[in-house]
Structure 1
Amino acid sequence: MRAVVYTRNGDPAVLHLGERPTPEPGPGEVRVRLAFAGVNPTDWKSRRNTPPGPGGQVPGQDGAGTVEVVGQGVDPALVGERVWVWEAAWQRPHGTAAEYTVVPARQTVLLGAEPSLQLGAALGIPFLTAHRCLTLGESVPDRLGPGTLDGRTVLVQGGAGAVGNAAIQLARWSDATVITTVSSPQKAQLAAAAGASHVVDYTRQDVVTEVGKIVPDGVDAIVEVSAARNATVDAQVIGRHGAVAMYADDGGAEVTVPVRAQMVANARWQFVFVYTEPRRAKEIAVEDVNAAVLDGAIGVGEDAGLPLHVFPLAETAQAHRAVEEGAVGKVLVDVTA
């Protein structure tokens, strides 16, 4: 099979397209013929920092395609089904930047006939991360769906990013009031397209003032992309029993929090790394995200506030570079091109 592999850490130039043996599924596993692979920040960070195994590493946690072969103990009715895949390369050599990947059956989710395979490849890490960020507070439920966030207000810091977009879409599906911050009029248009109720351009407006106009008592949940930069703002706008979910790292930055004010609010500040979150929380996230997909509540592309940047498999290095350089939208690899 054709696959992109790296055998040493480094910049995107270490990624090479070549031929590898087609993997066979073991007990409890399935082999998926991939159509699209998603590219996430953790892909390039792993490529730079996590040594690959002796046989090399195929990058890519997320993807979508068709189940081709099932291993022992897996229902053969899955063969031929369209699925989306999550965490394919987490502590495994077979990522999604290849014609085939092998994963445990639980890491494939039925996509159905209608949703696009591009959408399926864009789900995984961004949407599971967003789900965790929206559900870990004491004042919010641990499930998402229509009505579950009715009466709650969510602040999404950085609403034009992939996780920010996912958080907006999931929160709106759950009937929350969604406030988001952006850094330009163009990103404001994307956040509005995703479904944000209120968009604040932090380069031109004071976030604390604008949020206070919308919800004087503070927000219930903050989805935080840059905790080191935004902690002072977050501490001022978080409501009683609210939670700040920090899911991204500003290059090893540290966070300073005003302790007394957060004590009075009984606020929660929690870090989120989707790969190591509790197993049950992740199972719930997969179920809820897929329910939103089947409900037609999630989309990709300009109309959903998430422009797509699609690269052929042979240009996976360029796809990695685009994510590393902060491409606005979602970067995908077309495995069939």
Structure 2
Amino acid sequence: MKAVTWRAFGAARDVLNIEELETPTPSKSEVLVRLAFSGVNPSDAKARSGTRPGVTKPPFDVIVPHSDGAGVIEAVGEGVDAARIGQRVWIWNGQWQRAKGTCAEYICLPEAQVIELPQKVSLETGAVLGIPGLTACHCVFANGEVAGKTILISGGGGSVGFWAVQLAKWGGATVLATCGKRDVARVRAAGADDIFLYDSDSLSDDILRATNGNGVDHAVEVEFGENVELLANVMASNGYVSAYGSAKRMQPELSFGPILFKALTVDVTLIYILPKAQRAAAIERLHAALIDGAVNLPKPNFFSMEDAGAAHECVEIGGRVGSVLIQI
């Protein structure tokens, strides 16, 4: 099979190559998926570049990148219902703690990691459910139902944030979002009730004014280190913060007092290790939202396997609109 591989840390165009690898055969409880799309996420670029904290060498001799993807089941191993052959599916954790990910013509995985797509959901959308979709869904609903609550979503124009705005609105919340000037119109169209420029000097006061001084019940936070002081100011007592990123400040400093006297809960989410029951709940809810037509995504940025280096660069540069997909 044809696959994109890397063998050493480095710049995308220097280390990503096309190779012919042996097509895998499904073992017991596994399925073989013929892939249509491979989703590229920031974590994939960080893994390839060697910038993950504490990682000093590649974990495997040859790595096929990417954890997200979608395609069709072509074969099944022992113990798997043969009726699954031909299913349109999406994948989670395709390359988490394993060498062979989704940027190849085929992948073998335990069948639990290969989820049948709802009939009306495209393979392109399926290829971004594993990390952006599940992260947003879990973060929005991590503390239960959101109907009647006020939710603040930072980075509403980003991959996860844009999902989160729509899912929170679908769930019945009043949605506040921060974003840059370029994204205001589309974040509003996604359902945000109030939008604030993330670099505004009056951001904290503006958010509190939008809540009539009552504060925010739940926050979905992409930059915890940068925004922890803001959160301490704008959250309501007993508020809940779902934090899934802190790239700009990985060693944040915070004042414990304001957090203590509001009794805030800070829930740090790493979607790769989400417990089984929570993952199942997020998958079920995510499918329900998609079936309801509650989520509309921007057109993806498509790349060929030969242009995998450019795809990684597109993710690394940032500022894009739409997911980055490699068409297999």
The two structures have a TM-score, normalised by structure 2, of 0.92
Q: Which residue of 2 aligns with 1:172?
A: 169
- What is the rounded CA distance, in whole Å, between the counterparts of 1:4 and 1:149 in structure 2? 41
- What is the rounded CA distance, in whole Å, between the counterparts of 1:88 and 1:296 in structure 2? 26
Residue 317 (1) aligns with residue 313 (2):
no
Once the two structures are TM-superposed, the CA of residue 190 in structure 1 deviates from its matched residue by: 2.4
Residue 11 (1) aligns with residue 17 (2):
no
Q: Which residue of 2 aligns with 1:44?
A: 45
Task: Calculate percent identity across the aligned residue pairs.
Answer: 36
- Residue of structure 2 aligned with 1:291, choices 271, 288, 292: 288
Once the two structures are TM-superposed, the CA of residue 54 in structure 1 deviates from its matched residue by: 4.5
Residue 208 (1) aligns with residue 204 (2):
yes
- What is the rounded CA distance, in whole Å, between the counterparts of 1:156 and 1:236 in structure 2? 15
Q: Which residue of 2 aligns with 1:304?
A: none
Q: Which residue of 2 aligns with 1:144?
A: none
SS at match of 2:166: helix
Query: Which runs of 5 or more residues in structure 1 are unaligned?
Result: 142-147, 302-306
- What is the rounded CA distance, in whole Å, between the counterparts of 1:176 and 1:259 in structure 2? 28
The two structures have a TM-score, normalised by structure 1, of 0.90
SS at match of 1:3: strand
- Residue of structure 1 aligned with 2:99, choices 93, 98, 111: 93
- What is the rounded CA distance, in whole Å, between the counterparts of 2:141 and 2:322 in structure 1? 23
Amino acid at match of 1:234: L
- Residue of structure 2 aligned with 1:226, choices 219, 223, 228: 223
- What is the rounded CA distance, in whole Å, between the counterparts of 2:198 and 2:7 in structure 1? 42
Residue deviations 1:134-164 (CA, integer Å, cap 9, x gap): 233xxx31xxxxxx32111111111111011
- What is the rounded CA distance, in whole Å, between the counterparts of 1:87 and 1:230 in structure 2? 29
Query: Which runs of 5 or more residues in structure 2 are unaligned?
Result: none
Once the two structures are TM-superposed, the CA of residue 53 in structure 1 deviates from its matched residue by: 4.8
- What is the rounded CA distance, in whole Å, between the counterparts of 1:298 and 1:101 in structure 2? 28
- What is the rounded CA distance, in whole Å, between the counterparts of 1:209 and 1:19 in structure 2? 57
- Residue of structure 2 aligned with 1:63, choices 46, 49, 69: 69
Amino acid at match of 1:199: I
Q: Which residue of 1 aligns with 2:191?
A: 195
Once the two structures are TM-superposed, the CA of residue 194 in structure 1 deviates from its matched residue by: 2.2
Checking the alignment, whether the CA contact within 8 Å between 1:3 and 1:18 is kept in structure 2 is: yes
Range with bigger deviation, 30-39 or 282-291: 282-291
Q: Which residue of 2 aligns with 1:74?
A: 80
Range with bigger deviation, 223-232 or 127-136: 127-136
- Residue of structure 2 aligned with 1:276, choices 261, 264, 273: 273
